[in-house]
Amino acid sequence: MHHNFNFKDVLAISSRPSWAIEDVLPPGAKLDFGRRFMPENLARTATSPFLDDEEARILNQIRGHEYLALFGLVEEFILPFVLDHARTQLSGDDHRVRAMLQFASEEAKHIHLFKEFHRRFTEGFSVPCDVIGPPEAIAAEILGHDPLAVALVILHLEWMTQSHYVDSVKDDGDLDPLFKGLLKHHWMEEAQHAKLDTLMVEALAEGRDEAGIQRAIDEYLEIGMFLDAGLKQQAGFNLDALERVTGRTLGEAEREELAAQQHQALRWSYLGSGMKHPNFVESLAAMSPAARDRIAEVAPAFC
């Protein structure tokens, strides 16, 4: 076994007193729009072509809004998936049932937190920032796939969140403290989710032959392509918001080049950094070395 995760230990950690939304976004606390929200490793706005420093900072903040909006969006399909998975085994392992319900409850809290963040952001930012959706339609599309493929997407997203915080956010002293605190509190609970997802993937892969696993990988990649089309659209929405708030209109060629650069930044944020996460790769390899190799082959396109 490539890990030592179990339901009892996860439950012990996740039932410790956690945080409330008011702790993370206290009433009256304001985002500082003079600062960056996102680490440059994910935002890639400081290296965007055609933008001066102020425009790069504003696009970085738009990306911060997008980041939490898209987390909220994916958590809207994670929540029903986890509940459905828990529903199939309500008797037997009591630690398991409680750990899975705790997981679902935390995701419901995160969805709520991200909506509250959206409200605060919109108050301070003078123009609306569009987000792909609606979440119900995206959730329905994704949940129509093989459950093992969906569980792999979720595992990918949870480990990705871990590496974003640890590798890029934690030691970045220039980020807006309120935004950074929000990422920190989200990360704290996600660490337990990643372990539960690992166990969920194992349970769903159990007893599958190689062909069955490869079919799930096909569908994991299909979901990835579906999300990628959404990311391309989102990169366009982000530039619309930048143009609206700065009053600047980008030339056609400028806009095209900037949109492509930012689409790649979103690909790295949500696809490549998950596909390449060592713990995600280990779960793939434990299922099937061929599955690991297939993902490793496509990952560079999303980095």
Picking from 133, 113, 126, 134, the residue whose alpha carbon sits closest to that of residue 61 is 126
Q: Does 110 bind Fe ion (CB under 5 A)?
A: yes
Comparing CB distances to Fe ion, the nearer of 264 and 279 is: 279
* Smallest separation, CB 46 to Fe ion (Å): 27
From the CB of 61, what's the least distance to Fe ion, in Å? 21
Q: In whole angstroms, what is the distance from residue 222 CA to residue 226 CA?
A: 6
Nearest Cα to Cα of residue 60 among 192, 298, 241: 241
Q: Which region, judged by CB under 5 A, interacts with Fe ion, from 53-61, 103-111, 206-214, 257-265?
A: 103-111
Least CB distance to Fe ion at residue 193 (A): 4
Instruction: Please provide the DSSP assignment of 103-129 as one string.
Output: HHHHHHHHHHHHHHHHHHHHHHSSS--
**Is residue 85 a contact point for Fe ion (CB under 5 A)?**
no
Binding piece for Fe ion, criterion CB under 5 A, among 174-182, 188-196, 238-246, 253-261: 188-196
- Closest to Fe ion by CB, 45 or 66: 66
Q: How far apart are CA 183 and CA 63, in angstroms?
A: 14
Are 146 and 219 within 8 A, CB to CB? yes
Q: What are phi and psi of 126, to 5 degrees?
A: -80, -10
**Does residue number 146 form part of the binding site for Fe ion (CB under 5 A)?**
no
| Binding residues for Fe ion, total number by CB under 5 A | 3
For 11-20, letters b (16+ CB in 10 Å) and e give beebeeeeee
Residue 195 binds Fe ion, judged by CB under 5 A: no
To Fe ion, the closest distance from the beta carbon of 19 in angstroms equals: 12
Does 190 bind Fe ion (CB under 5 A)? Our answer is yes
Block residue for tokens 């600047």 = 248
* Residue of the chain from 36, 180, 193, 277 that contacts Fe ion (CB under 5 A): 193
* Stretch binding Fe ion (CB under 5 A), from 34-42, 122-130, 184-192, 277-285: 184-192
Task: Write out the residues near Fe ion by the rule CB under 5 A.
Answer: 110, 190, 193
